[in-house]
Amino acid sequence: MKFKHCLAGVAALLATSAMGPLAQAGEFDGVTVNIMTQTGAIQEPLQRRAPEFEKLTGAKINVIAVPFSDLYQKVLTDWASGTNSVDAAVFAPQWMVDYIAGGFLEDLTDRVAKEPKIKQDDVGAFFRDFSEKYDGKIYVLTFDGDFHMMYYRKDVLDAAGLKPPTTWDEYLAVAKAVNGKDMDGDGQPDFGSCIAKKRNAQSYWFVTDVVGSMTQSQGTSQGTFFNTKDMTPLVDNEAFRKALDFLKESSKYGPPNELNMDVSDTRPLFTSGHCALNLDWGDVGTLSVAPDSKVKGKWGAAVMPGSKQVLNWDTGKLEDCTKDNCPYAIDGVNHAPFAAFGGWGGGINAHAQDKVKDAAFAFFAYMTEPEQSNIDVTIGATGFNPYRTSQLQYSDMWSKAGMTEDEAKNYLGAINDSMSSPNMILDLRIPQNQKYQQVVLDEAISRFLSGEIDEEATVKAVVDGWNDLNDQIGKEDQLKIYKATIGAK
């Protein structure tokens, strides 16, 4: 037995020296890893790399894709019920807290420390410190850098003599000015602004973009969802109302069915040249240089617009920015880039068999290694956006992906501006955050935008809904966790 083992080891060693990277050939022969994630983007790179990895190590990676809207619950029920069909999952780090509460996620801290090829130092500080970790331990390996940015059409704005907006007021002004112009040369009028506002999709994140730039000005640990004193929702105030106004007003300059559009609708709309302004994740950048894009060389990206006024938490009123209340303001404008969602990452089922866990970790490590990752983040279809410092330099990989130096510098500059901002907003990561955002906030926003309820009723619906949840789940516990996730004192 021992001798056999030894032989296998020698064989593996030989094989490794020949093959090169990471895991040993045949190390995981006969091991099958079921990895669940969403369909399409994210699924694509995992599925594409699975055969490569199988060739290297013998582990069979079985990618199971489910629609995004079902992913959270599917993984949760599989793990909570003890079915454990799913050995590992690639999901939003936002959900981590619920998975950890049940003890379903494997602590990866030691494994990461022992695997130099991951080059953990190269991972953006925000992802290293916030996205991957909970309570000081690493549970997730980041594959994707996710935060919201603003995209604009350089040619359209230039033609109108306008600059890319830096505040939300300017955003509306620009959208209004260019709305109805022909932007793709087909003689038809196009749209000033495209934002995904469909229900049960991504719309609630865009609310936080706007609110956050007014509620959070003192850095990530100030927080933007709740008052860190007593867990009061930061909703019944001028900032939230102004954000609602913004959303409603921006609809005037958007496509007629904007209320039924999720990002999957707005992205092709932007890349096919129908929108002057667009809010989205980093994906739009890589999609804009994809072969079928019609906006190549005509687009730009920038950090999310901000606000010249910020909220006084005590009075609920907006106040002009000064040195004290906006320490991180740029040209008097407080920006708060929103790490919405937090970037797709891989976590491993704590109850999987050891061999399977090892194989899953090896696969995730393989995915995140710069050699693979640096290529994947330049491809639009992967859904992966840059998250490593080394990916933010213009290099061959970007030119190979079809980005000109100008485009890349602009795009990567915007990413860098966002990623390095000390005032970045961390997405809500308290237990059952789905109910706060996907149910209460999303539903209220959808009803507001469709005209079912007015602004006051919307504010009330969100405040009541969040307070209700706080009471149900336990206000004190939620406050403690909320403060812990954002690092508030």
371: three-class secondary structure by DSSP: helix
Is the CB of 37 or the CB of 421 nearer to another protein? 37
Beta bridge partners of 36: 64, 89
CA-closest candidate to residue 87, choices 368, 351, 366, 364: 351
Two tokens, residue 271: 């890349």
Instruction: Give least dist CB 452 to another protein, A.
Output: 4
Is the CB of 38 or the CB of 421 nearer to another protein? 38
Do 225 and 442 touch, CB atoms closer than 8 A?
no
Is the CB of 265 or the CB of 417 nearer to another protein? 265
Sign of CA dihedral 124, 202, 246, 175: positive
Distance CA 278, CA 281 (A): 10
Is the CB of 39 or the CB of 312 nearer to another protein? 39
Instruction: Give least dist CB 244 to another protein, A.
Output: 14
Do 401 and 378 touch, CB atoms closer than 8 A?
yes
Is the CB of 43 or the CB of 278 nearer to another protein? 43
Is the CB of 377 or the CB of 392 nearer to another protein? 377
Instruction: Give least dist CB 415 to another protein, A.
Output: 19
Instruction: Give least dist CB 482 to another protein, A.
Output: 17
Distance CA 311, CA 488 (A): 18
Is the CB of 355 or the CB of 435 nearer to another protein? 435
DSSP, res 38: E
Instruction: Give least dist CB 326 to another protein, A.
Output: 33
Do 458 and 445 touch, CB atoms closer than 8 A?
yes
CA-closest candidate to residue 330, choices 412, 394, 411, 420: 420
Beta bridge partners of 277: 152, 193
Instruction: Give least dist CB 89 to another protein, A.
Output: 10
Do 376 and 45 touch, CB atoms closer than 8 A?
yes
Instruction: Give least dist CB 41 to another protein, A.
Output: 5
